[in-house]
Every structure is written in structure tokens, then in C-alpha cells.
Structure 1
Amino acid sequence: MSTSILRDSSISLYEQIAHQLLEEIQRGDYEPSGKLPSEAQLGERFGVSRVTVRLAVGKLSDDGVVERKQGKGTFVAAKQVRHGLDALRSFHEALLLQGLQPSMQVLSHTLQPVPEALRGLFEEADDCLLLERLHFVDDEPIALGRSHLPAALASVAWAEVEHQPIYSILESITGLAVTRADLAIRAQEADKNLASALHVKRGAALLVMERTSYFADGRSCDRTTFFIRPERYAFVLSGVFKSNPSS
């Protein structure tokens, strides 16, 4: 990377550094993690004091280009994750397809009676597995998923498959492919538990995606509700639609 700055310029050193870092960010030099070098590293690179570096990074922060994370460093401001609605893929796969480094953490897994509201989905079943997993991007929580799954998945060693998508686990255990999913999207305020898990304020608006998935024989195999931080996530539908001349 070029490190040239002009010390006799009418433009201050910190503004020159901020401009150069901005160009590098726009080129994608700090992908995929988005983490910038430390203040000490930037100071050594540009031959300036940490105070000057702090002013440059502060300008980028004020402009919304970067964000500082306590104890972790400075990162390129988070881009929205785009989840296409025109293909059948898991939440985790949608993150992977964008070159991100997602991870998951199992919060709980409990065998319980099928809730009354889901009896129409899990026909002839007395019990189902309730699984809660937290989804991360760059070690930052982006969504919490609550899944109701067939009781057969209660035998899964969840600590060993923590980072596998639900669909791949379903297919591995049952031998059946997931072929269809219905999605419903709404908004909801974060309660105390969701706010704590997702690092947002209580009452903050969340995107809620409710997914019901089916095997090829028409049996439901998954009802998952994702509670998603909206500033990090967008749902998109791509396609070309024929216009109706009479409309």
C-alpha cells in the first residue's frame, strides 16, 4: 500500500491519512474481516504520532466509514447482508455466499411437547426439539434463531455440529432433502432477552423472518424464527416481471 503524505501541504496530515485510508477501504483492501491496522501500526506506517492517527480515524468514524469496537479495534462500517428470497438456502449459507465468515453458537436444545400452534405442522408427533442458536459475522451477533425441529434431532451432538446449517443436519439425520420453504417477514421490538443476546437496546426494532421448511413428501421439518438486527440485514427479491398493460 502507498504511504505517501505531503508534509508541506495545506491539507492537514490527518486529513491526508483519512483520505488515503478511505481510498483503500473503497478498493476493498481490508476485506474480508474489515479490520484496520492499529493506531500504533498506522502511526509507524505514515510516520506520524498516534494523536494524528486518532484524528484521521476519528474523521472516518464521524463520516460513518469505520466503526470502533471496544477491545477489538477499528473496522470498516458493517455492510448489509443481503438474503435473496428467490432461492432455497439456509441463513448460514446466505452469509457464506457473500464471502463473509459466519459462525454459530448453540444456546440451548430442549425436547418438548409440540406447541399447540405448531400441531398442524408436526402431524402425529407428540414432541419436537426446540433449538436456539446465535449467528455471528466477524464475532458480532447478527441474528438469533429459534427452531422447532423433528424429535429425531434430539439425539444430535450439537456441540459437534454447532456450525452446520439446519438443512444439512436435517438431511444427514433423516436422509431426506429439504425441497421447499415458506417465508414470512415482519418487525418486532427486542425484549430483554433478545436485546441482551443481540447487543441492542431493549425496545429496538428487529427484523423477524419466520421460515417453515418441507421435505419433498410435503411433511414439515422446520419452523424457525430468526430475530435479526435490521442495520446488518436486507431481504432482496431479484427478477424481471412482465408489466400488465391494463394495470
Structure 2
Amino acid sequence: MPPLYARIEQALRTRLSTASPGDPLPSEPTLAAEFGVARMTVRAALDRLAADGLVERVPGRGTFVRPRPAPRPAGTLMSFHDQVRSWGQVPSSRVVEAALRQATADERASLRLGPGAQVVSIVRVRLAGATPLALEHACFPPHLAHLLELDLERESLHRALRERGLRPTLGSSTLTAEAAGPHAGLLDVPATEPLLVETRLIADQRAEPLERTVSRYVGSRYALQVTFDVEAGP
């Protein structure tokens, strides 16, 4: 059974789903009385909501619902770095892996590489402020090994590519979902947390494969917006 603070956190998440930005949450003593727990247990639940960017804790005033970041239009090619800056937050990364390695079969097919080819593999936890939003597995053709020399915690890979005359131009992606499972620790979420998984292939201005990336977004911290046409019926 989940700890008490986790159950309180989940109950408050349900309430937040129908709340408006700026709405106040009940005080810690009020919530402690409601759930029949100590104030420190309530505080732990509120701290987790604040870490996810769902609420803002203002000393001396209380806890308030924060506006959710604008969702990324699914049909728009925007780097994570630029998107987080558009929210008025500071993007950063924690590097998990940065190396040349043997390509998988899927990577070879996506990047049009031959048997035994290597890829530039860069795995990073992507953050907005101090909050982990995604675990990103990006791979590039081996002739882009210079990317490993960048400050991968702060620099934008797409910006570095553009500076070298390679413009990310066309993209396609597939969306699936999975539980956090083995990735939970890196994203600071429970193993059962739903993740939105985007497998994306990006081509350059010559329509040559440039990047294959699998990004696992924390569902409660990130959203994609889809615009579509409705086919006329018979």
C-alpha cells in the first residue's frame, strides 16, 4: 500500500484537475484534520505537488494552483530547450550517457546506416527549473560525433546543429504510453507513473536523417496538443 503522503498527494491531484490557476488549497492544518494525519505528512504531499509544478507555496500566504505550461503542438518541430524558455522557465539537462556505440536495428533503419554502424548516443534527463519532465534517448549518425564535445547539460543540440549548417526541417513521430518502471528513479516519480512516449525521426534540409529520439515525458508534467480535421460522413 502506498505511504500516507502519496495517497494524500493523489487525492489532491484529483482536485487540482478541476481547479483554476490561482485557486488556494486548504491550509496544512485543515488538510491534516481532513485526512487524519500529522501536518508533516500533508507537507510531504504538498512538496511533491510543488516539485511537479502543479502548486506554488507562498510563505505566509498558503498554497496556490499554478498555471499549467502551454502544451506543445504535436505538429510543431520545437526543441525542448526553446519550449521551456517559452514558458519563462530555465531549461537544463542531466547527462546519463554520451558516447559512440553500436546502433540497434531500429536505429540503423531510421538513420539509414549500414550493418555494424555506430551512432552518437546522448541520453539526458530534461528539466524545467528543478523539475524533471522527460528522459530523452537521442541518437545521431556517427559523423556528428562532435556533438559529444558540447556542454550537454546546458546547450541546445538543435542550435548546435544549425550552427554547423544542418537545419532540423522535417519530422515525424509516433506516440505511445507506458509506466515509468525502470525509468522512475531518473524522473523522480513512482514506478507506476504514466509516461507519454514520443519516438521521433527528424531530417535535415536535404531530407537526410538527422536524429532519432525516444522521449519519455511524465504525463502529469507535460502535454501535447493535437489539431485535426474531421472527415465528412457519407
Q: TM-score, normalized by length of structure 1?
A: 0.66
Structure of larger gyration radius? 1
Partner of 1:25: 22
Question: Which residue number in structure 2 is paired with residue 137 of structure 1?
Answer: 128
- Measure, in 2, the Cα distance between the counterparts of 1:149 and 1:84: 24
The answer on 1:178 being equivalent to 2:157 is no
Q: Deviations over 1:161-220 (max 9, x none)?
A: 4222221122234x121111101110012222x011011122332110111100121211
Cα 1:95–1:58 change in 2 (3 A) is farther
User: Gapped runs of 5+ residues in structure 1?
Assistant: 1-21, 28-52
Would you say the 8 A contact 1:147–1:223 is kept in 2?
A: yes
Aligned residue for 2:29? 55
- Give the counterpart letter for 1:166 in structure 2: L
| Cα distance change on mapping 1:227 and 1:243 into 2, 3 Å | closer
Secondary structure (helix, strand or coil) at the match of 1:167 reads: helix
The answer to whether the 8 A contact 1:80-1:231 is kept is no
Q: Indicate if the aligned counterparts of 1:106 and 1:159 stay in contact, CA closer than 8 A.
A: no
1:68–1:124 Cα change, 3 Å: closer
The letter of the residue matching 1:195 is A
Q: Classify the secondary structure of the residue corresponding to 1:87.
A: coil
Structure 2: which 5+ runs fail to align? Answer: 1-18, 34-38, 40-44, 58-62
Pick from 206, 209, 214: which aligns with 1:225?
Answer: 214
Cα 1:229–1:84 change in 2 (3 A) is: same
In the TM superposition, what is the alpha-carbon distance from 1:153 to its structure 2 partner?
A: 3.2
Q: Size of the alignment, in residue pairs? A: 197
- Over the matched positions of the two proteins, sequence identity in percent amounts to 19
Alignment CA distance shift 1:141-1:123 (3 Å): same
Moved more, 181-190 or 152-161: 152-161
* Aligned 8 A contact 1:184 1:209 in 2: yes
Asked whether the equivalents of residues 93 and 127 of structure 2 are also in contact (C-alpha less than 8 Å), the reply is: yes
- Please give the root-mean-square deviation of Cα atoms over the aligned residues, in Å: 3.8
Shift of 1:54: 4.6
Does structure 1 conserve the Cα–Cα contact (< 8 Å) formed by 2:98 and 2:148? no
> 2:214 corresponds to which letter in structure 1?
T
Return closer, same or farther for 1:67/1:153 CA change in 2, 3 Å cut-off: farther
Q: Residue type matched to 2:88 in 1?
A: G
Give the one of 189, 194, 205 matched to 1:200: 189
Counterpart in 2 of 1:120? Answer: 109
Structure 1 residue 147, shift from structure 2 partner: 0.5
Letter in 2 for 1:55: P
Question: Does 1:190 pair with 2:187?
Answer: no
Report whether the alignment pairs 1:160 with 2:151.
yes
Residue in structure 2 matched with residue 85 of structure 1 by the alignment:
74
Task: Give the distance between the partners of 1:153 and 1:57, measured in 2 at CA.
Answer: 54
Give the 3 Å change call, closer, same or farther, for CA 227–76 of structure 1 in structure 2.
farther
* 8 Å CA contact 2:23, 2:64 repeated in 1: no
